[in-house]
Amino acid sequence: MSSPGLVRILYIEDEPDIQAIARLALVAVGGFTVEICSSGQEALQMVTSFHPDLILLDVMMPEMDGPATLKALRTLPETTRTPVIFMTAKVQSHEVLQYKEMGAIDVISKPFDPMTLSSTICSIWASYHDHSS
């Protein structure tokens, strides 16, 4: 029940139009503090100053993809344990399992509905803390 508050979200996504609508959805609807990075490399810089509570990570990005970014994030002291949610196109349940085995707490499928993105994140956050406590 006493899950720590979710305030700061880092979203790693290379598509500018998705970036814009995600920012709107997370800030205006969800009331979160949000930073957005366009690549895994940029994110590795950002986390040293931003300290996110939660990271949203697009799976398919050029050069460094989602899983590779996750691996790199885990090597940094700031993000060794930060919960990560993968964002990806419609997935089947065995794929969700694969992503969870990589260390993601859940997967949100794209395209997302900007109206419900924040509440989806909140419920994943709540159930993650229910299970881990």
Partner 1 sequence: MTILPDSFQKQLTALRETYTQQLLNKLQQIEDLWAERHVNWNNRTLAALHRMIHNLAGSGATFGFVTLSDRAFTLERFLRTIMEADSPLTLEEEAQVSALIAVLAEATQPDPLPSSRLDACLLSHPSPPLSKNNRIIFLVKEDPVLARDMMLQISYFGYTVRTFSNPSELRVAVNETIPAAIIVDLVSVDGGFAGTETIASIQHDREVPIPILFISVRSDLAARLLAVRAGGYAYFTKPVEISALIDKLDTLTAHQTPDPYRILIVEDEATLAAYYALTLEQAGMLTSLVTDPLHVMQPLIEFRPDLILMDIYMPSCTGLELAAVIRQLEAYVSIPIVYLSMESNVDKQLIALSLGGDDFLMKPIHPDHLVKSVTSRAQRSRILRSFMIRDSLTGLLNHTKTKEQLAIELSRAQRQNLPLAFAMIDIDRFKSVNDTYGHTMGDRIIKSLARLLQQRLRKTDCIGRYGGEEFAVILPNTDGKTASLVLEELRSGFAQIRHQFTGQDFSVTFSCGVAEFPRCPDVASLSDAADRALYTAKSRGRNQVLLAGNA
Residue numbers at the binding site for partner 1 (CB under 8 A): 15, 17-18, 20-21, 24, 28-29, 31, 60, 62, 88-90, 110-115
> Which CB sits closer to partner 1, 24 or 102?
24
Minimum CB separation of residue 20 from partner 1 in Å reads: 5
> Which CB sits closer to partner 1, 1 or 115?
115
> Which CB sits closer to partner 1, 51 or 111?
111
Burial class of residue 128 (count of CB atoms within 10 Å of its CB; 0-12, 13-18, 19+): middle
Burial class of residue 75 (count of CB atoms within 10 Å of its CB; 0-12, 13-18, 19+): exposed
> Which CB sits closer to partner 1, 17 or 80?
17
Minimum CB separation of residue 34 from partner 1 in Å reads: 14
Minimum CB separation of residue 39 from partner 1 in Å reads: 14
Task: Name residues whose C-beta falls within 8 Å of residue 7's C-beta, 6 or more positions apart in sequence.
Answer: 32, 33, 53
Sign of CA pseudo-dihedral 93, 98, 103, 108: negative
Distance (Å, whole) CA 29 – CA 71: 30
Minimum CB separation of residue 67 from partner 1 in Å reads: 16
What does the DSSP 8-state code read for residue 79? Answer: G
